[in-house]
Amino acid sequence: MDRDLFATVDRYVEGLFIGTDAALEAAVADSQAAGLPAIQVSAVQGRLLHLLALLVRARRILEIGTLGGYSTIWLARALPEDGRLISLEYEPRYAEVARANIVRAGLAERVEIRIGRGLETLAALAGEGAAPFDMVFIDADKDAYLEYLQWALRLTRSGSLIVADNVVRRGVIPVAGEDGARALGIQRFNAALAAEPRVTATILPLAGSKGFDGMALAVVH
């Protein structure tokens, strides 16, 4: 019932503001054909990420969790010609699919995918003395969200935006039969974000084709 309603609203917004988009549709189709899980952000959520990146005039974006590069494409399209997006992915096979999707979207120059465990590639990034990111999108393994937040705070500057996907569904609203690690990880992340003096944050509840969920938004002081 609710799900039908959410999906109807989502289709309405998508029809108005997105319509058909060849590169994004091909990215979804090829990800599915390659057997990747269909857990990318929805089109409407992708559009929100794109709008947020424009809002902060992002020139450098960090994404944690690439999958097939769907959210990557939405984010990278908000970058200026000389902007950069670094996306971190654990599965080499997913990264390969993402790479092809990003090339087809004409974004190869702006996007770099780094393969490895997020916590390790983040430590390496910090070790390189990477310039601060204007925006960080956290969307990988949920039990590490709190650690990803700590890294995001290290790798940003005053005025940067930190966004985290999936902070409501299966976190605050538990799913029967599912192990608690994911829910606990999300709950810890949300509590830490709310108590974090270095940011002003909130959770944006989102209902759409992926059901009911939310994204956390935090601006760094």
Distance CA 44, CA 16 (A): 10
User: Rounded CA gap, 72 and 49, in Å?
Assistant: 10
Task: List % helix, strand, coil for the chain (3-state, nearest 5).
Answer: 45, 25, 30
Residues 22-61: x where in contact with ligand DHB by CB under 6 A, - otherwise, as a string: -----------------x----------------------
139 binds ligand SAH (CB under 6 A): yes
Q: Which is nearer to ligand SAH, 82 or 161 (CB)?
A: 161
Q: Which of the ranges 1-9, 123-131, 137-145, 212-220 carries the binding residues for Mg ion, by CB under 5 A? A: 137-145
Least distance to Mg ion from the beta carbon of 128, Å?
26
The smaller minimum CB distance to ligand SAH, of residues 6 and 151, is found at: 151
Give the CB-nearest residue to Mg ion. 165
Stretch that binds Mg ion, among 25-33, 84-92, 105-113, 159-167 (CB under 5 A): 159-167
Q: Cβ(50)–Cβ(164) under 8 Å?
A: no
Neighbours of 200 (CB within 10 A): 11
Residue bearing tokens 């969307």:
139
Region of 97 on the Ramachandran plot (φ > 0 left; ψ -120 to 50 alpha; else beta): alpha
Among 41, 97, 183, 201, binds ligand SAH (CB under 6 A): 41
Smallest distance, Å, CB 128 to ligand DHB?
Answer: 26
37 vs 92 by CB, closer to Mg ion? 37
Q: State which residue, 109 or 187, has the beta carbon closest to ligand DHB.
A: 187
Q: Residues interacting with ligand DHB, by CB under 6 A?
A: 39, 139, 165-166
